[in-house]
């Protein structure tokens, strides 16, 4: 599926602008990670863009989050690889554990995107361009900061042989490359 078609599909299901920005952030981080490892950039980016497609429809029924998304994506003809990654980003509901690289990456990318947004918002300039690795690492170690951003999930990227420092650097560069769309 081409990006434009994926975007149309996504915006049919999601209306909240912050949620759409979150999807764009995950898309670009997944793309940068795929490039880093020589994986399929288009496929990884699609998994990032579409992973929360059912979010608004399942918000009162979180045990469906990931399941319904997989169904929507199956009907739309997305690849099995993308569909499994979407299921595995919420293993508590789908019982699909992240196993393949695209799945493990998405599982760690989901919280890191929110974490970096939270870092930008507490920075005096509120700009992605003003952040650096040491700022991110300091906030990472502050347990009370952005509690919703699961540190264990972010650190699980190490199972793919990437250090937390490298992961945060790649994720930050990725998001900086989309700063206009992200409005930060």
Of 105, 103, 171, the residue nearest 137 (C-alpha): 171
- In angstroms, what is the minimal distance from the CB of 37 to Fe ion? 21
CB 154, min distance to Fe ion, A: 13
Kindly state the smallest distance separating residue 52's Cβ from Fe ion, in Å.
4
Tokens of 28: 């670009």
Considering beta carbons, is residue 52 or 103 the nearer one to Fe ion? 52
Residue 49 to residues 28, 74, 82, 86, 122, Cα–Cα distance (Å): 8, 15, 10, 10, 25
Alpha helices in 38-79 (DSSP H): 41-50, 67-75
Q: Which is nearer to Fe ion, 7 or 132 (CB)?
A: 7
Give the contacts of 164 (CB within 8 A, at least 6 positions apart): 137, 140, 154, 155, 157, 158
CA separation for the pair 79, 23 (Å, rounded): 18
Shortest Cβ 31–Fe ion spacing (Å): 16
Q: Which is nearer to Fe ion, 52 or 87 (CB)?
A: 52
List residues binding Fe ion (CB under 5 A): 52, 110
Nearer to Fe ion, 43 or 129 (CB): 43
In the complex with Fe ion, which residue's Cβ is closer, 54 or 110?
110
Provide the minimum distance between the beta carbon of 79 and Fe ion in the complex, in angstroms, as a whole number: 19
How many CA atoms, within 13 angstroms, populate the side-chain half-sphere of residue 136? 25
């Amino acid at each position: 599926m081409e990006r434009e078609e994926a975007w149309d599909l996504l915006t049919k299901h999601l209306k909240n602008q912050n949620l759409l920005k979150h999807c764009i952030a995950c898309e670009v981080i997944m793309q940068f990670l795929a490039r880093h490892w020589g994986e399929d950039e288009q496929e990884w980016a699609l998994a990032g863009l579409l992973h929360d497609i059912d979010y608004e429809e399942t918000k009162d029924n979180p045990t469906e989050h990931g399941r319904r998304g997989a169904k929507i994506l199956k009907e739309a003809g997305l690849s099995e690889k993308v569909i499994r990654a979407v299921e595995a980003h919420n293993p508590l509901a789908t019982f699909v554990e992240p196993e393949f690289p695209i799945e493990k990456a998405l599982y760690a990318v989901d919280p890191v995107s929110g974490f970096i947004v939270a870092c930008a918002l507490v920075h005096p300039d509120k700009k992605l361009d003003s952040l650096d690795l040491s700022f991110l690492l300091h906030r990472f170690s502050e347990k009370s900061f952005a509690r919703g951003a699961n540190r264990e999930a972010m650190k699980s990227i190490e199972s793919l042989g990437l250090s937390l420092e490298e992961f945060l650097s790649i994720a930050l560069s990725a998001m900086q490359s989309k700063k206009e769309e992200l409005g930060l």
